[in-house]
Amino acid sequence: MMTHELRSTLLRIDGVRAAYDDHVVLDRIDAEIKDVVRPGVTQGQVVAILGPSGCGKTTLFRILAGLAAPAAGRVLLGERLEPVRAGMVGVVHQQYPLFEHRRVLANLLVRSSDEPRARDLLARFGLAERAHAWPSELSGGERQRVAILQQLMCGHTYLLMDEPFSGLDPLNKAKACELIAELALLDEEQTIIVVTHDIREAVKIADTLWLLGRAPGASASTIVASYNLIERELAWSPGIEHTPQFAALVREIEARFGAL
């Protein structure tokens, strides 16, 4: 196992419950993300929330982003464990909405005047030559990167990504995984939470995976399993998807999906 240690808590979910009218969607959601420290490496955290369609992933996404209040419980952020509020977390929606009337560089400067940083980010993520392109001229993968960089320009070290692999072919799924891995290296406290139903990609990019769904006999979803992919030696290694242990974990999760 790669040398690492877990330090301060960066995010805590305490007893979150969500309901619509009398229908409970989520219940007893408890989880924690800690700062992962690796000697000689700037290492952020990537947590995948994985679950089948209809299990409440979108509801949990909105609660984590501070866009919806839980019926009970709370979400706390940072070393001071402040209750989450809208604007504290960068949100990257599935359709990657951009300001269509502004060119790429101008999209990054909507809430910041730091043009040198914007240009540095564009260069780091392979978009330097697209700085003056219109959003309508971008590919889906390029739109995704610009939408993420918008959030980084706002100073967010917490990023929530909604179904970042949806609708992508295998080549672009691989590129999206590479992008998330690169994002995690930007800052020691960079914390990326990916909400998805794509099992292979979740295992490929995460260091921690939370499986969301309904336990047998339950009417509401909760975190039915948590996988530490660092301990399983499935984190931070390019090409891990070609190993037997990767295939074994994917099969294990696929087998559980049918019962959720």
What are the boundaries of each domain within the chain? 5-87+159-168+189-257, 90-155
CATH number of the structural domain 5-87+159-168+189-257: 3.40.50.300
Low-confidence ranges of the chain (pLDDT < 50): none
How many helices (H) does the chain have, and how many strands (E)? 7, 10
Instruction: Give the pLDDT of residue 47.
Output: 97
Asked if residues 161 and 151 have their Cβ atoms less than 8 Å apart, the reply is no
pLDDT tens figures, 4-55: 898 899 999 999 999 988 899 999 999 999 999 999 898 999 999 999 988 9
Instruction: Give the pLDDT of residue 1.
Output: 58
β-sheet bridge partners, residue 47: 193, 208
Instruction: Give the pLDDT of residue 166.
Output: 87
3-state secondary structure of 193: strand
For residue 6 the two structure tokens come to 């877990």
Query: pTM here?
Result: 0.93
3-state secondary structure of 77: strand
Hey, which bits of 69-190 come out as E strands? 72-77, 82-83, 90-92, 158-162
Instruction: Name residues whose C-beta falls within 8 Å of residue 232's C-beta, 6 or more positions apart in sequence.
Output: 245, 249
